[in-house]
Amino acid sequence: MIYFDNAATTLQKPECVAEAVCLAMHSLGNSGRGAYDASLEAVRSIHEVREAAAALLGASGPSRIAFTKNATEALNMAIKGLAGPKDHVITTVLEHNSVLRPLYELEAEGTRLSFLPCDSKGRLCLEQLEEQLGPDTRAVVCTHVSNLTGNVTDAEKIGAFCRKHGLLFILDASQSAGVLEVNMERLQADVICFTGHKSLFGPQGTGGLCVREGVEFPPMLSGGSGSHSYDHRQPSRMPDRLEAGTLNGHGLAGLKAGIEFVQRTGLERIRAREQKLVHRFCRGLQDIREIRIYGDVWSKYHTGIVALNLGDHDSARVSDELAVRFGIATRPGAHCAPLMHQALGTERQGAVRFSFSWFNTEDEIDEGIRALRQLAEE
């Protein structure tokens, strides 16, 4: 199988990730639940993952990293914890449902929402930010990279806008962590939500929040924390405040190995590799009249995602043909990004998304081009 669905989850991981998970399965107890070797080893292991994530994301310290099972959980915690019925929140049409649905729930309770539009190539109209600002504006919530087009949002500009106007900035780094530099201080973000199983090459079931010092919100869950057991409420200190119950220590050990692989390889090399694959792919499709590509794929503000359609054929049918006849894995449909499809005019047809990673090869790209060419000829 040729795997081109890395924006959903990376399938090919560095060997060190599987080795770290296997070792953790046989060595880690429950962190903070005992003074014996296996429990203490779990404490040390999880702290090391916090340190690695904090260094990657520019946190002020490891305690500002709280782990969740994915970015969706992290985004729900941040959005619902920081915005309320009397607030106004600015977001964008690029967003994934992990941002949109929590916001719609808040809207039903009285929160006012505004959506920053995009142009025909899916690029945000950032010049309209000032127009959407109101006296009740509380926060801006946006994705760093569109999971549909691969376009990169100018998060640094949005962060500066938020600081200027005293707003909170919540950034969804699901598609950027592990490919782009995601630095809390440089981007002036208040909360960065990330997942482990995409470009950080970690196992599924890992993710978290990077929370700026001084930013606080209530926990979404309450329960065991291994500390302050006689208190009626969840401990107030980070990260215990946001981590109820047993953490996925085995998965987090794999996440640490994934982060270390990314750091050893280098973000610039990873991004350059993905862009090289994207450009090779798009050049190979340029003379196929039936192919329509979405997004600003030739821009430097783009990652390893290419969304396309073949004529007026349903995207699910094209993706199925690629899988069954050519052994090529892609993702069709709406990609949990309904407003983006509405903006691009692909709401009914959807799109076939190809998403590349460090481990894809030029030969695989050429096979993808040949498969699409054959389907177009037929």
Residue 99's CATH number: 3.40.640.10
Domain match, 167 and 274 both: no
Which of the listed residues 265, 291, 308 is the one where a domain comes to its end? Answer: 265
Q: What is the CATH number of the domain that holds 283?
A: 3.90.1150.10
pLDDT at 192 (0 to 100): 98
pLDDT at position 224: 67
Same structural domain, 74 and 218: yes
The string of DSSP letters for 220-261 reads S-----SS-TT-SS--SSTTGGG--S---HHHHHHHHHHHHH
In order along its 378 residues, the chain shows pLDDT tens digits of: 999 999 999 999 999 999 999 999 998 877 767 777 777 787 888 999 999 999 999 999 999 999 999 999 999 999 999 999 999 999 999 999 999 999 999 999 999 999 999 999 999 999 999 999 999 999 999 999 999 999 999 999 999 999 999 999 999 999 999 999 999 999 999 999 999 999 999 999 999 999 999 999 998 887 766 666 677 777 778 898 898 888 999 999 999 999 999 999 999 999 999 999 999 999 999 999 999 999 999 999 999 999 999 999 999 999 999 999 999 999 999 999 999 999 999 999 999 999 999 999 999 999 999 999 999 998
Residue range(s) defining the domain that contains residue 233: 15-265
Asked if 150 and 202 sit in the same domain, the reply is yes
- Of 198, 147, 148, 144, give the one whose Cα is nearest residue 172: 144
CA distance 316 to 294: 17
Write down the pLDDT at residue 183: 98
Q: What is the total count of domains within the chain?
A: 2
Whether residue 144 sits in one domain with residue 20: yes
Any residues with CB less than 8 A from the CB of 228 and at least 6 apart, and which? Answer: 235, 240
Same domain, 128 and 275: no
User: Are the C-beta atoms of residues 88 and 96 closer than 8 Å to each other?
Assistant: no
Same domain, 259 and 295: no
Domain's final residue, options 213, 237, 265: 265
Q: Are the C-beta atoms of 277 and 365 separated by less than 8 Å?
A: yes
What is the per-residue pLDDT for 37? 73
Judge if 134 and 275 occupy the same domain. no
User: What's the pLDDT score for residue 178?
Assistant: 98
End-to-end CA distance of the chain: 22
Residues of 139-161 as b/e, b for ≥16 C-beta within 10 angstroms? bbbbbbbbbbbbbbbebeebbeb
Cβ contact 305:143 at 8 Å: no
Do 248 and 286 have their domain in common?
no
Helices 71-82 and 97-108 cross at an angle (nearest 10°) of 30
Q: Tell whether 211 and 166 lie within a shared domain.
A: yes
Q: Output the pLDDT for position 1.
A: 96
End residue of a domain, out of 265, 291, 324: 265
Same domain, 236 and 292: no
| HEC string for 101-144 | HHHHHHHHCCCEEEEECECCCCCECHHHHHHHCCCCEEEEEEEC
Virtual torsion, Cα 239, 241, 242, 246, nearest 10 deg: 80
| 261, 130: one domain | yes
Q: What is the pLDDT of residue 244?
A: 84
Count of other CB atoms within 10 angstroms of residue 260: 18
Residue 261 and residue 271 in one domain? no
Type of residue at 49: V
